[in-house]
Chain A
């Protein structure tokens, strides 16, 4: 299954529910386009819910990192929510787990933006 995104608003935080595989090709470009569009519109608090992401490859990791820097460069904040064990392991192996602000509970994550 390729990646699917659903964007919703919780207060002033934009939550992107991501499902499927974030891999080279459509999977990573869809995420890249969505994050660029949101930042262009001025959204500065973005929570990426990866709870339904089954697979991320190095290209997908690259898009997460690019998204993080894109949002940060616009004065915003990108945080991650609900990592599966495999995605968490992948971020730990690549030493990115400490770069991202990662949350397990959505309400807690939303409050953390305040």
Chain B
């Protein structure tokens, strides 16, 4: 797992990636369920087994909740953009990219307290970003213009054992 929360590129840029989903969702909790379901359908088409789909679902759910609740703050005039693609040209194996972008004010990932630190273990919240990284192979977070945060989650598509 690589937990990159800065602006480092995950390598998803136009290298022959095949689009699997591209959609805008309203800023509501219903969108969290809807996006999770549609992304998991794409993950199944990409060949992920049930355990991996569960992990993808966990990461996607946390990311969508962040986008709707903390990013767009349920604002009906703002949307969450979801783009899913598979890049088969990325060595050493094809990779599944999930890019989720809100229209919020953005945040600094480095300022989020470490949820594994002893003093933070009993905090009620603050685990979402950590779980997104824990359940994917790579993650980047970056601010986008004119306003918003783009999170890219990457899962390697390993050959089935």
Contacts and interface: CB of A to CB of B under 8 A. Distances in A.
Contact of A68 (B58, B122, B127): B122
Nearest to B30: A25
Contacts of B116: 94-95
A101 B132 CA distance: 26
A68 to B, nearest CB: 7
Contacts of A88: none
A57 interface: yes
B2 interface: no
Nearest to B32: A24
Given A61-B127, A62-B127, A96 B121 contact: yes
A69 B134 CA distance: 25
B18 interface: no
B130 to A, nearest CB: 7
Contact of B29 (A24, A68, A95, A96): A24
A58 B62 contact: yes
Main secondary structure of the interface of B (DSSP, over half): helix
A94 B115 contact: yes
Contact of A86 (B54, B115, B121, B125): B54
Interface string B118-131: 00011111011011
Main secondary structure of the interface of A (DSSP, over half): helix
B56 interface: no
A63 B115 CA distance: 15
Nearest to B62: A58
Contacts of A66: 124
Q: Which of B121, B125, B127, B134 has the most A CB atoms < 10 Å from its CB?
A: B127
Contacts of A58: 62, 65, 125, 127-128, 131
Contacts of B62: 57-58
Nearest to B134: A93
Contacts of B115: 94
Nearest to A62: B124
Contacts of A96: 121
Nearest to A54: B54
5 contacts: A57-B62, A58-B125, A58-B127, A58-B128, A90-B58
Interface of A: 23-25, 57-59, 61-63, 65-66, 68-69, 86, 90, 93-96, 99
